[in-house]
Amino acid sequence: MRIVIAGGHGQIALRLERLLAARGDEVAGIIRRPEHGDDLQAAGAEPVLCDLESASVEEVAAHLQGADAAVFAAGAGPGSGAARKDTVDRGAAVLFADAAVRAGVRRYVVVSSMGADPSHPGDDVFDVYLRAKGEADAYIRGFNSLDWTILRPGMLTNDAGTGLVRLEASTGRGPIPRDDVAAVLAELLDTPATAGLTLELISGSAPVSVAVKSVAGN
């Protein structure tokens, strides 16, 4: 498969790129800083320079032409203010979905956040973030032309992955290593029967492949 990842230099994205490249997929990662290209190449991915905060739908669609799947893993990051939560966490996710439709890419996997909700109250930056992610998720769920899966991980850690997870419509809160999030994303890309599902993810007791197959059967 050819898979294009938005936010290609993110911590989860780099892990996912390594996994996909190692199993023989063709991977491209969208980045906005040229100096990040070397890290993507080291992970086995093709760096694609494109700023999702300023690009047009047509420009992004051109980068998605010929792809079998798209993954939205971009984020404004923990040090950013409320304005960029809107332009990246909501705006770029909407743009990337529109571009996927324009390019004819049906499979669309989103890295969202536990607690994402378009009507989440509050004015703190994290409140704005959860609202922005919720608005983006709601927008993507409105597409019949996308086979979307929305993944909402719990508290992200840099602990070594265990390969054991809990993946359900509602898991309750808990931590999850970024390694295991990437492993679940790779498995979701291989499991089109998970299209139309919004899933929460925390550490658990089920091997990744078993957890994904289980939700695909629901």
Distance CA 103, CA 66 (A): 8
The residues, ordered by sequence, that sit 6+ positions from 22 with a Cβ below 8 Å of its Cβ are 44
Residues 151 and 188: beta-carbon distance below 8 Å: yes
Residues 193 and 216: beta-carbon distance below 8 Å: yes
129 is catalytic: yes
Half-sphere exposure of 114 (CA within 13 A, CB side): 18
Distance CA 85, CA 205 (A): 33
Distance CA 175, CA 156 (A): 6
Q: Active site residue: 72, 96, 108, 129, which one?
A: 129
Amino acid residing at 183? A
**Catalytic sites, residue numbers:** 129
